[in-house]
Amino acid sequence: MLRLSKARFRWSTYCAACLMVSAAQATSESVESASAETIQKINPSSESSNSNSNQASNFQYASNYGTTITASSGSLSASAAGFFSQDGDSGLGGWRAPDAMLFVGFYDFEPNQQSDIDAFEVEDTELTDFWDDSQLIFKPRSYYLNRNRDETADSKGWALGGELQFSSGWWNDTVRFNASAFTSQKLYGPDNKDGTTLFKPGPESFSVLGEANVTVRFAEEQGLRIGRQRFELPYLGSHDIRMVPNTFEAVAVGKPSKVGFGYMLGYVDSIKRKNDDEFISMSEAAGAADTDEGLLFAGAQYIIDGQTTVAGTYQKTENVFDTTFAKIEHSFGLSETSALKAFFQYTGQSSVGDELIGNFTTSMMAGKLEYVVGDVKWRVALSSTDEESGLQKPFGNPSNYLSVIVDDFDRAGEDAWLIGVSYNFKQIGPGELSMFANVVEGDTPETGIAASPDETEYDITFDYRVKEGWADGLWLRVRGAWVDRDEDFGGEDFFDFRIIANYEVKIF
């Protein structure tokens, strides 16, 4: 097990950041002569983004990866700053600063990390027909997971299922209805290899009406949504990393922030977790058995010229705990094909009221740098969590920039660093191939109440998206994670392997 002292950890991360900045400065001039083909690929508005006549021009992949993704005939835009943006654009109203555009051409979003603030769509449109603009979409999914442990029992399963999603048009330009049914059916899952969370404990197949809500638009780009729904907020969201997402029974109101100010607030009564078909109270989900407390939340975001985002949220589960989250992000244009982006976030948590799950106070700070040039993106990140307690995440969507395939690296007293790279191989056969890899190390105290095994996680992900022919829209993802935990402190090594397939069929 590779281990660093806290001083060496901080110094190593600082040096890595300095090297990245130096490389960016040294490279910026040399990449100015990059080909128009490369520039066209990373620009969503380029001519290469012509729609396919056999399918709708945009396909939403909100399933399986925690962030809504829109694949638009060869380009992809990860939801990076779009308050209320379900269609995956960056919240910049179709326009992005040149340096911001460079970051959306990559398929390297990590589904186990949600630091963005996204929720429902309240677009400003002209009058539409309720039935003619209604859609019924089937999103089949296959998910194989094998976690091979050194000593304890393995977890292994293969599921087939997906989502059937209905969305109406706007009635009188004011009201819209949405509903989604989910299912996870066991193709393979021995009783002695449970624990994949692809199914209910057992393992058992299940189906559930996860979403059923109405959205009411009461002002320009402002609306209210009530019923069963998803959220995509830090520490409150779908955390859609298996077959079925978390969904919530809630009411929410807000305004999207394409550029400028946006807000969101609401009350959440209950949650259906990703491997369950029943809704339970938020306090019970947090660990307070036989209680029925809900959660209040509020959030705000301000986007400046498509380059700087300042945002924050506050959540409070009565008599349990509250969470404060804040972040700032800024991108720096270096040339037409290279850019640097800096990220910083803070999370604070504390027990409140009757302290139904105990008395605690903790916090975490994290920072990240990303440098993109052409088809390559490099990143370094670090985080530090207070020793009193690790972060509580019972409602999904861990936000740490270092949350990767398996672990979140936010245990009590944990200092962690990350280094990673993404690469787009472009067109190979009928589709596009891309990959990204991360190495993350977490160092925790060796004595005291916060003592736990140090660990290192090595991750690699390959994505292949078919862009033509009968399988147009098929998305294959293969992931592997090797987790090395210090055996001297009770840790256990294991290998986690996953194969995920997503598709989308528009019925009407």
Please report the pLDDT score of residue 36 as a whole number.
38
Segment holding 41, helix H or strand E: helix 36-42
Please report the pLDDT score of residue 109 as a whole number.
79
Dihedral Cα 107, 109, 110, 116, nearest 10 deg: -170
Question: Which residue from 90, 94, 19, 32 is spatially nearest to 307, judged by alpha carbons?
Answer: 90
- If you ran DSSP here, which 8-state letter would residue 50 be given? P
Q: Per DSSP, what are the bridge partners of residue 428?
A: 431
Question: Which residue from 293, 228, 306, 225 is spatially nearest to 264, judged by alpha carbons?
Answer: 225
- If you ran DSSP here, which 8-state letter would residue 36 be given? H
Q: Each residue of 46-97: pLDDT tens digit?
A: 333 333 333 332 333 333 333 333 333 333 333 333 333 333 322 223 334 5
- If you ran DSSP here, which 8-state letter would residue 390 be given? P
Domain positions in the chain are 6-506
CA separation, residue 338 to residues 81, 341, 419 (Å): 20, 10, 19
Q: Please check whether residue 387 is in contact with residue 316, taking contact to mean a CB–CB distance below 8 angstroms.
A: no
Task: Look at residue 12 and give its three-state secondary structure.
Answer: helix
pLDDT in tens, the chain (508 residues): 433 444 444 444 444 444 444 444 444 444 333 333 333 333 333 333 333 333 332 333 333 333 333 333 333 333 333 333 333 322 223 334 555 556 666 778 788 888 887 756 666 555 567 888 899 999 999 999 999 999 999 999 999 999 999 999 989 889 999 999 999 999 999 999 999 999 999 999 999 999 999 999 988 788 999 999 999 999 999 999 999 999 999 999 988 877 888 899 999 999 999 999 999 999 999 999 999 999 999 999 999 988 999 999 999 999 999 999 999 999 998 988 899 999 999 999 999 999 999 999 999 999 999 999 989 999 999 999 999 999 999 999 999 999 999 999 999 999 999 999 999 998 999 999 999 999 999 999 999 888 999 999 999 999 999 999 889 999 999 999 999 999 888 899 999 999 999 999 999 9
- If you ran DSSP here, which 8-state letter would residue 487 be given? G
φ, ψ dihedrals at 210, nearest 5°: -80, -30
Question: Which residue from 405, 65, 90 is spatially nearest to 230, judged by alpha carbons?
Answer: 65
The span from the CA of 294 to the CA of 286, in Å, is: 11
Q: CB-hemisphere CA count at 13 Å for 221?
A: 15
Q: Please check whether residue 112 is in contact with residue 136, taking contact to mean a CB–CB distance below 8 angstroms.
A: no
Q: CB-hemisphere CA count at 13 Å for 199?
A: 25
According to DSSP H, which parts of 183-324 are helical?
A: 282-285
The span from the CA of 87 to the CA of 232, in Å, is: 13
The yes/no answer on whether domain 6-506 falls in CATH 1.20.1440.230 is no
30's tokens: 């040399």
Look-up: residue for tokens 């949405």?
178
Q: What is the 3-state secondary structure (H, E, C) of 323-337?
A: EEEEEEEEEEEEECC
The span from the CA of 174 to the CA of 165, in Å, is: 20
